[in-house]
């Protein structure tokens, strides 16, 4: 990094203040301080998120949308306020375009199931090779139900989506194109604005998995212009058990509900039932109320702290991580580009990723080791698996240095 200036010092002070809001991070694991580099699996939670959820249970606990009493009115208003906040957070046109789900996986399932009547035998579904299993398996099930055909969009030699192959596949007029915004295993970033535009020009319905983007980027649905965008609360400093399905109103309104029951209906009789309107039509049953309220606090946290300066700091930190891994020697990096976000995938020499993970864990370092729920991607890299170190808004240079020192000890033991 460059020499310290007063701006750097100011940034470093404000960064320590950000980190101090995450209670989990200041703990010892045996003789070692926790070095948490598994944010891509789940992020830690700031105190404000924990407080918001506790506040709801301590003061406002009641079911929503049944506001015959004051508590329920309070709960409903906090809950629905988060929908408005999300609309602003991702720049959606209407609040009804925000559907609360239990996570990215459920969001994709809602879309893949909901499209069933619109898909016919022989229709083509294109899937990004870098996709997480959550963005593969629901489409395979849709193909089973309808006789549609799935084709993977291959990667080029740099592990980026192969733009030429993409054009060739788009010329086949696919019905659906499923992309990831940021690869969970590698941290590579897709130019989603262009990819979506090209897919839509061929008449495809587009879905973008933003699970690994939302904690690092400012999202703008008007700019990305996809039909569906999905993400999880727990990867953006919010609670587990809450996710978001954004959909363009007309596309969302055509989805067949995957789950049916209370809340989503207008009228029920034994002669027939009429479904309600968006967003409730796709949100049956009692929703995860405290999680939605926690997500609201996470959004406010990000709006306050994920400034362009902090985004630049995260990008610098990831590059520093890549550099230090290269400098250590005997480390294979996979698709470690300078414009990646959040994560770096690596193996140490020919050592098994699990051995490396066990020995890092001995030193308080938390990384993910395995196939990262992206087996097709691992197959295309000809890997059984790898280790992934991933950073978040709270990660600092000391974390990276500690991790590199721990990996140096592992190297000494294994090589």
Partner 1 sequence: MTLPIMPAATEFDYSVEDSSSLLARFEQAPNWQERYRQIMLLGKTLPSLADEFRIEAAQVKGCESDAWLYHIERDAKHYFLADSDARIVKGLIGLLLSACHGKQSDEILAFDPSTYFKQLGLEGQLSPSRTNGLHALAKAMIDAVKP
CA 173/CA 198 separation, integer angstroms: 11
Judged by CB under 8 A, the residue of 141, 162, 225, 355 near partner 1 is 355
Catalytic-role residue among 35, 226, 373, 386: 373
In terms of DSSP H, where are the helices of 119-273? Answer: 137-146, 163-170, 192-201, 221-224, 249-253
> If binding is defined by CB under 8 A, does position 351 make contact with partner 1?
yes
Binding status of residue 34 toward partner 1 by CB under 8 A: no
Q: How far apart are CA 181 and CA 200, in angstroms?
A: 16
Rounded (5°) CA angle 410-390-140: 115
Least distance between partner 1 and beta carbon 297 (Å) = 29
Any contact of residue 409 with partner 1 (CB under 8 A)? yes
Nearest approach in angstroms of CB 36 to partner 1 is 17
370 binds partner 1 per the rule CB under 8 A: yes
354 binds partner 1 (CB under 8 A): yes
Q: Verify binding: residue 413, partner 1, rule CB under 8 A.
A: yes
Planar angle of CA 45, 49, 55, nearest 5 degrees: 145
Residue 165 burial (C-beta neighbours within 10 Å; 0-12, 13-18, 19+) = middle
For residue 114, the SS3 value is: helix
Round to whole Å and give the CA distance between 352 and 374: 18
Q: Check residue 11 for interaction with partner 1 (CB under 8 A).
A: no
The residue among 303 and 409 lying less far from partner 1, judged by its C-beta, is: 409
- Residue 246's closest CA among 219, 266, 284, 286? 219
User: 73, 315, 333, 414: which one contacts partner 1 (CB under 8 A)?
Assistant: 414
The count of residues interacting with partner 1 (CB under 8 A) is 17
Stretch that binds partner 1, among 80-88, 117-125, 132-140, 351-359 (CB under 8 A): 351-359
The CB-of-369 to partner 1 minimum distance in angstroms stands at: 7
Distance CA 415, CA 400 (A): 21
Q: Is 373 a catalytic residue?
A: yes
Complex with partner 1: residue 45 or 353, whichever CB lies closer? 353
Residue 352 binds partner 1 (CB under 8 A): yes
């Amino acid at each position: 990094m460059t020499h310290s200036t007063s701006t750097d010092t100011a940034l470093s002070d404000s960064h320590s203040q950000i980190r101090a809001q995450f209670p989990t991070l200041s703990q010892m694991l045996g003789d070692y301080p926790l070095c948490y580099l598994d944010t891509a699996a789940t992020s830690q939670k700031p105190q404000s998120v924990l407080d918001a959820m506790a506040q709801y249970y301590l003061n406002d606990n009641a079911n929503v949308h049944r506001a015959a009493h004051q508590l329920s009115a309070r709960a409903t208003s906090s809950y629905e306020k988060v929908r408005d906040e999300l609309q602003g957070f991702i720049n959606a046109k209407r609040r009804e375009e925000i559907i609360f789900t239990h996570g990215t996986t459920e969001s994709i399932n809602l879309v893949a199931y909901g499209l069933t009547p619109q898909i016919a035998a022989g229709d083509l579904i294109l899937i990004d090779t870098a996709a997480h299993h959550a963005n593969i398996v629901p489409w395979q099930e849709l193909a089973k139900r309808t006789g549609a055909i799935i084709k993977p969009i291959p990667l080029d030699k740099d592990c980026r989506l192969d733009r030429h192959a993409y054009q060739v596949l788009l010329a086949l007029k696919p019905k659906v194109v499923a992309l990831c915004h940021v690869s969970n295993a590698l941290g590579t970033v897709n130019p989603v604005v262009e990819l979506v535009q090209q897919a839509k020009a061929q008449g495809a319905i587009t879905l973008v998995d933003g699970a690994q983007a939302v904690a690092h980027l400012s999202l703008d649905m008007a700019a990305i212009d996809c039909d569906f965008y999905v993400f999880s609360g727990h990867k953006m400093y919010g609670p587990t058990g809450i996710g978001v399905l954004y959909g363009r109103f007309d596309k969302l309104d055509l989805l067949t509900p995957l789950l049916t029951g209370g809340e989503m209906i207008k009228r029920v009789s034994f002669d027939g039932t009429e479904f309600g309107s968006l967003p409730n039509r796709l949100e049956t049953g009692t929703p995860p109320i405290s999680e939605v309220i926690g997500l609201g606090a996470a959004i406010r946290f990000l709006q306050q702290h994920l400034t362009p300066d902090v985004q630049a700091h995260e990008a610098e930190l990831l590059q520093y991580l890549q550099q230090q891994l290269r400098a250590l020697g005997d480390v294979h990096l996979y698709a470690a580009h300078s414009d990646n976000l959040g994560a770096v995938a690596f193996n140490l020499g020919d050592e098994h990723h699990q051995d490396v993970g066990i020995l890092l864990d001995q030193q308080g370092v938390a990384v993910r080791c395995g196939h990262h729920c992206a087996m097709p991607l691992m197959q295309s890299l000809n890997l059984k698996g790898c280790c992934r170190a991933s950073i978040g808004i709270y990660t600092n240079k000391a974390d990276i240095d500690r991790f590199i020192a721990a990996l140096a000890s592992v190297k000494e033991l294994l090589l």
